[in-house]
Amino acid sequence: MDAKRVEQSDGTDNVLASAVNFHGPDVTTADVKKFYEAKMTSEDPKPLEWGLNSRLEKGPDGKLFENVWKSGGMYGAAIDKIIFWLEKAVTVAENEPQKKALTILVDYFKTGDLKKWADFNLAWVKATEGDVDYIIGFVEVYHDPMSQRGSYESIVQITDFEASERMKVLGENAQWFEDNSPLLPEHKKKDVVGVTYKVVNTAGESGDASPATPIGVNLPNSNWIRELGSKSVSLGNIEDAYSKASGPGLTDEFAHDDEEKKLSKEHGDLSGKLHTALHEVLGHASGVLEPGVAEPSVTLPGYSSTLEEARADLFALYYILDPKLIELKVMPSLDVAKAEYDSYIRNGLMLQLRRIKPGKNIEEAHMRNRQLVALWAYEMGKKDNVIEKVTRDGKTYFDIKDYDKLRVLFGDLLKEIQRIKSVGDAKAGKALVENYGVKVDPAIHKEVLARSEKLNIAPYGGFINPKLVPVTDANGNITDVKMEYPDDFTAQMLEYAKEFGFLK
């Protein structure tokens, strides 16, 4: 009846058909491409993220213009409040690099100038010291059918020093991972610099990060800035909460045998966290574009987000079965990797289908990525029976018969997706996503829904933010912060609407 938020179907005017509020009602895909053609040239070595913070509209004269999100512009009343609090943050910054980055971020929100956004990201990746860090801005482009416009998100995070110390060895060895990856030599970074990784606990989230939150983040998204540095975080308290909330029900129902269940029980928590770490700190930070090739949002329109997530997942999957991780003492044995391979194939081919209504295709970028990787590996490994499809008592299972051969397949696909990104091969990228990431096997889908319904486990998880209450002395000075835990999601949403509804 109603338009989808993001319409990704091939052969459709995806901009016109999408309900997301990133374009005017009469703006077409052709309009968007033409408007940014001159700006997004492959000759620019430091391209700005054009379209990231604006709504493309048509004026009364029919000409296209950007309604920029900034103070005094679109969403100005809310952005003024962001500026108000960021200016306070500047006064209590922990160090000069943090203060510099915050100051530039304030200027960006005041002006809407994308050059200042690039300057902020350059300063932010260098601000690595201190207990507190943040992700604030119009950042991720998953909800734009053209993969240009960013949804607002905010994550305020506190470093988990003990967990970060255990895992920092991954970032310290980033060059080794890059050098030994299965990528083509010309697509490897010759000098991996500025890669930092931390495990953090989130103190609060908003915008696109809440109430359904990521478990890890790697930024910035601009490829040329990534070559100078990047930050990766795993949201430790979020991962722990997801793990505790899900329980063993789905594994018990969909795992092929007792050995698979045993691996999940003993190593599932660590394997998931390690996959997230490898995905964020090494996967997204790996690889380079060939000279003269434009950003993926230009060369791979509509498919760049899915392919980027697949690339990062494959990097993690390839290396989690490498003995190097045992040598680095981040995991005790390769059983951790086997648990992750089992989980990834189960989820990519079956479990994630719980989130889709019967008869529908897969639309979301991360879900497309997971099926693409799992289904491609299953299909390519059929001749060697790498993954066996088993039917028992009317139920379907996928049983990995050869983990080492599966790793080789993951490496092959990683090399191909990196090639697609590095050269901007739109035809091959589209074929991979459309052939493996979009269509759903209706029989498997029906079975998954039926088996899952009996477990009464929600297909999505959402979070209630803690409430941070200042404790003051007799003079009104803040002496501490008390953390309260509301237990009513609806009440919290209504409170947010009342207290922070600046866009009337």
Of 368, 359, 342, 367, whose CA–CA distance to 254 is shortest? 342
In a domain, 136, yes or no: yes
Lowest mean per-residue pLDDT among 209-213, 243-247, 378-382, 496-500: 243-247
- pLDDT band for position 166 (50/70/90)? confident
Say yes or no: 340 and 308 in one domain: yes
Provide the pLDDT for residue 43: 77
Least confident interval from 166-170, 325-329, 336-340, 390-394: 166-170
| pLDDT tens per residue across span 279-329 | 998 999 899 999 999 989 889 988 999 999 999 999 999 999 999 999 999
Residue numbers of the domain that contains 493:
467-500
Instruction: Specify whether 36 is located in the same domain as 161.
Output: yes
What pLDDT was estimated at residue 393?
95
Asked if residue 100 is part of any domain, the answer here is: no
Whether residue 469 is predicted with pLDDT greater than 80 in this model: the reply is yes
- Neighbouring residues of 313: CB distance < 8 A, sequence distance ≥ 6: 275, 279, 283, 344, 369, 370, 373
Q: For the chain, what percent of residues have pLDDT higher than 70?
A: 100
| Residue 105 forms part of a structural domain | no
- Quick: pLDDT tens for 205-252: 999 999 999 999 999 999 999 989 999 999 999 999 888 887 789 999
Same domain, 440 and 488: no
**Cα separation of 496 and 111, whole Å?**
27
Contact 129, 148 (CB under 8 A): no
pLDDT score, position 38: 80
Task: Report the C-alpha gap between 403 and 454 in whole angstroms.
Answer: 31
**Sheet bearing 230-235, strands edge to edge:** 132-140, 151-159, 195-207, 230-235, 216-219
Question: For the range 80-86, what are the long-range contacts, defined as Cβ-Cβ under 8 Å and sequence gap of 24 or more?
Answer: 80/502, 81/500, 81/502, 82/109, 82/136, 83/109, 83/110, 86/136
Considering the domain architecture, whether residues 381 and 485 belong to the same structural domain is answered as no
With respect to residue 282, please indicate whether it lies within any of the assigned structural domains: yes
Q: Specify whether 183 is located in the same domain as 320.
A: yes
Q: What distance in Å separates the CA atoms of residue 321 and residue 69, rounded to the nearest whole number?
A: 44
Decide if 88 is inside a domain. no
Residue with tokens 């709504």: 55
Verify that 37 and 152 share a domain, yes or no.
Answer: yes
Residue 362 has pLDDT above 70, yes or no: yes
Which residues touch 455 (CB under 8 Å, ≥6 apart)? 249, 250, 253
Torsion, Cα of 462, 463, 464, 468 (10° steps): -160
Strand (E) or helix (H) holding 155: strand 151-159
Distance of alpha carbon 440 from alpha carbon 422, whole angstroms: 29
For 104-159, the pLDDT digits (tens) are: 999 999 999 999 999 999 999 999 999 999 999 999 999 999 999 999 999 999 99
126 and 263 belong to one structural domain: yes
Question: Is residue 98 one of the residues assigned to a domain?
Answer: no
Burial of 107 (0-12, 13-18, 19+ CB in 10 A): middle
Q: At what angle do helices 403-423 and 304-320 cross, to 10 degrees?
A: 140
Helix (H, G, I), strand (E, B) or coil at 226: helix
Residues 414 and 493 in one domain: no
Whether 414 and 496 map to the same domain: the answer is no
351 shares a domain with 382: yes
- Give the mean model confidence (pLDDT) for residues 25-33: 95
Q: Do 208 and 272 belong to one domain?
A: yes
User: In this structure, are 406 and 479 located in the same domain?
Assistant: no
Neighbours of 442 (CB within 10 A): 10
- Reported as a pLDDT band with limits 50, 70 and 90, residue 1 is low
Domains held by the chain: number: 2
- Are 312 and 279 in contact by the 8 Å Cβ rule? The answer is yes
Q: Which two tokens stand for residue 42?
A: 């492959």
Identify whether 316 is part of a domain.
Answer: yes
**Taken in order 64, 68, 72, 78, is the CA torsion positive or negative?**
positive
Residue 445: Cβ within 10 Å count: 18
Nearest-CA neighbor of 163 among 215, 235, 229? Answer: 235
How close are the terminal C-alpha atoms of the chain, in Å? 27
Spatial CA neighbour of 377 closest among 353, 402, 351, 352: 402
Per DSSP, what are the bridge partners of residue 421? Answer: none
In a domain, 95, yes or no: no
